[in-house]
Chains A and B, each alone.
Chain A
């Protein structure tokens, strides 16, 4: 039995504010990895930049902490090169839905077998409190002094409408359920989005712990294989449902469709150049 210790770094000093929801997400993720009995060497967390994106620094796993907004492309490539790895892309709402918005769309289209964890605190935490793509209409910040005048993105509805193969939302206040859904997302074969409501105690005084508790409820009596229903539930605004909205196990993941993995004898990254074929191809260019 893998101990939860295995994914913890001893005496880690986090850069997070006391009381930040990120601590709970970290705990839930450690719990999920532990329950899946994965070896740290098998897991790669790819992240961008932001408070959320620092999470892999506090975990005992492989890490690719790249650029702001750019976690999904390397995560897709890492999985494509080595499908044996468990690949998780992790970051904030600004990182994943703003700066990296285009990659979000196209990663859904590709459907690599990776898990996409978005810490959604409806604000830019790291850069001190500007609006994010999920900030509510009217949300006031030092930049949006009259309040946000754009509609927030609805990542779930977007993902479902684009045919994402696993779409869920959780509130980190419920660590157990968060861990459980992260686990299911990792187990899902294909692209899995988990949008995680996370209070930012320092820069978001509107969407607080209390607010999330009052404005969310658990999805029940919902058929997560019914895409139209899922979309409908994702569009609800009064109270925000939590749980697995949609899942589709029939989609073939990106990397499984790559011809390089048809031959499973030698792992892709360990193969040698086929010199004979190169010589033949060169010969075919003789004038």
Chain B
């Protein structure tokens, strides 16, 4: 099952909010353009998705509400909801209907509602919602019995016991779980869609996991607080979107200079400026890459799957701490808000590596006596030494200096810190035949949709190369890119920012690009057509 709710926020002038659900008897993790069944609840909903309807789309709704030539199977959601007491129950009725049409188990549906509202401490909503669910379920039976709907069209789904223990979570929760598993105990942030889910998640679990969560007055404060927290010995992160990251850039540079670990979750949304606050894009890769003046190393990770969001976030804290560099986790609205079922996550065993030392009286925070540029990190009042962090160019003791020889040594020290990182970098993931001619390149949230598009096309010599570490560009990239006859870069942005980065890093330029920047994620059916078109146009040539 795959779920993609459009964020609900009327303040931004959204008229129709929708949720797309994809149900299948094999795992699905990407949206499609095609709509099989539409349940429009408000007047504008049909118009909103009209270009995605086909002859075979079934529409079920309050027929009199819609001014359309299309056939609408009449179910009076509004009246039924009002009978229960509030128009809002139309949602639960629709869920009941769907459950009935897909031959789901009403008992489990009821149990879900009970659990859901109990967890939210809103037990008083349970009875009415259960009635709504039952009403919808009965409507489904009626529609089939009265032959308004042909059950063979999409019913009779095979039930699977295998997924019984799967988790159903979204990207924001996966990042939150990853942070906790990575030892995060401090988050300071300023709300900004679509990044806020992570702040909310960690705040809600702050008591259980001993986390300090602070809503800062602005993103500048947020990032500076987080660096202060690392300095004092915590494991801190910030979560933000493009506009907030723009405000954090000086702080990111500070982390570079004081050699502070830092974890920055950047959930992208379409810009420039306020852009489309509740939509998706991969438009801020270059912002993350260049954020912060001066030269200092960084790592940028971009999970492609919910499992990877958990994995890389956990790893981000380890890497930031070990290498004393800022680590970015790049996601987007699509990742944040979409849900699908995943196998249970493993929880790390043993103590978390902290990379903090007890200092001696002669401790020097920026000692040059190191062969990999990394000086062991002390924290205040842990040992006999003093810990001096300085945003000015500094000597080994953290004191301000203008000595040019020291400057040169410190620049070389800071910029060599990732030399050893190669050994534990995330290699790109190759899916498909090893002897490919066509290589589709993707990064971050497009993993599943490209994979599914290629599966649909079933072209024997086409493969996907997916990057969850986008910077430093993994060493293996060159080898993979060189082997391809045609490379197709697929990105949710206008310029093909990752293709540009690959070219800078490998010297290989990618001419074929499939780019989408209307604010929506790729759909696998639509993408399959585009890939097919791109291959035939170039005949599989570069």
Contact = CB atoms under 8 A, between A and B. Distances in A.
Chains A and B come from one and the same complex = yes
Contact of B225 (A67, A74, A102): A74
B344 A74 contact: no
B190 to A, nearest CB: 11
A40 interface: yes
A284 B168 CA distance: 10
B263 interface: no
A279 interface: yes
B398 A275 contact: no
Contacts of A75: 228
A75 B165 CA distance: 45
A57 B400 contact: yes
B137 interface: no
Given A65-B392, A80-B212, A282 B345 contact: yes
Interface string B190-211: 0000000000000001111111
Interface string B136-174: 000000000000000000000000000111111100010
B29 interface: no
B324 to A, nearest CB: 15
A81 B229 contact: yes
A100 B209 CA distance: 32
A210 to B, nearest CB: 32
A123 to B, nearest CB: 21
A150 to B, nearest CB: 22
Contacts of A16: none
A82 B210 contact: no
Contacts of B218: 102
B166 to A, nearest CB: 6
A54 B221 contact: no
Given A63-B390, A268-B234, A287 B229 contact: no
B319 to A, nearest CB: 17
A282 B386 contact: no
Interface in B252-280: 254, 258
Nearest to A9: B399
B185 A62 contact: no
B221 A73 contact: yes
A286 B380 contact: no
Contacts, number: 196
Contacts of A143: none
B217 interface: yes
A78 interface: yes
A77 B232 contact: yes
A287 B180 CA distance: 21
A286 B232 CA distance: 37
A175 interface: no
Interface in B451-503: none
B388 A63 contact: yes
A46 interface: yes
B167 A85 contact: no
A212 interface: no
A74 B371 CA distance: 30
A122 B250 CA distance: 26
A285 interface: yes
A96 interface: no
Nearest to A54: B400
A82 B400 contact: no
Size bracket, chain A contacts: 35 or more
B166 A66 contact: no
B251 interface: yes
A272 interface: yes
Nearest to B253: A67
A66 B227 contact: yes
B341 A287 contact: yes
A237 interface: no
Contacts of A270: 233
B381 interface: yes
A272 B181 CA distance: 11
Contacts of B379: 82, 269
Nearest to A70: B224
Given A62-B388, A82-B232, A281-B205, A77 B180 contact: no
Interface string B230-255: 01111010000000000000110010
Interface in A48-65: 49, 54, 56-57, 60-65
A73 B228 contact: yes
Interface in A257-287: 258-260, 263, 268-275, 277-279, 281-282, 284-287
A64 B231 contact: yes
A285 B168 CA distance: 6
Interface string A101-114: 01101100000000
Interface in A18-55: 40-42, 44, 46, 49, 54
A43 to B, nearest CB: 8
Most buried by B among A57, A72, A273: A273
Contacts of A273: 180-181, 183, 209, 348, 352
B216 to A, nearest CB: 7
A73 B224 contact: yes
A54 B208 CA distance: 41
A61 B387 CA distance: 8
A85 B188 contact: no
A75 B227 CA distance: 10
Nearest to B228: A74
Contacts of A268: 185, 210, 212, 234
B254 A102 contact: no
B177 to A, nearest CB: 7
Contacts of B251: 67, 70
Contacts of B74: none
Contacts of A42: 380-381
Contact of A285 (B169, B181, B349, B385): B169
B166 A65 contact: no
Contacts of A85: 232, 380-381
B526 interface: no
5 contacts: A54-B400, A70-B250, A74-B227, A260-B185, A285-B168
Interface of A: 15, 40-42, 44, 46, 49, 54, 56-57, 60-67, 70, 72-78, 80-82, 84-85, 102-103, 105-106, 258-260, 263, 268-275, 277-279, 281-282, 284-287
Given A42-B381, A70-B220, A81-B234, 10 more contacts: A64-B228, A73-B188, A73-B216, A77-B225, A78-B231, A81-B229, A275-B347, A281-B205, A282-B177, A286-B166
Interface of B: 1, 119, 163-169, 173, 177, 180-181, 183, 185-186, 188, 205-212, 214, 216-218, 220-222, 224-229, 231-234, 236, 250-251, 254, 258, 341, 344-345, 347-349, 351-352, 379-381, 383-392, 398-400
Q: Which 10 interchain pairs have the tightest Cβ spacing?
A: A74-B228, A77-B228, A269-B233, A287-B168, A81-B232, A106-B217, A73-B224, A77-B225, A73-B221, A62-B380
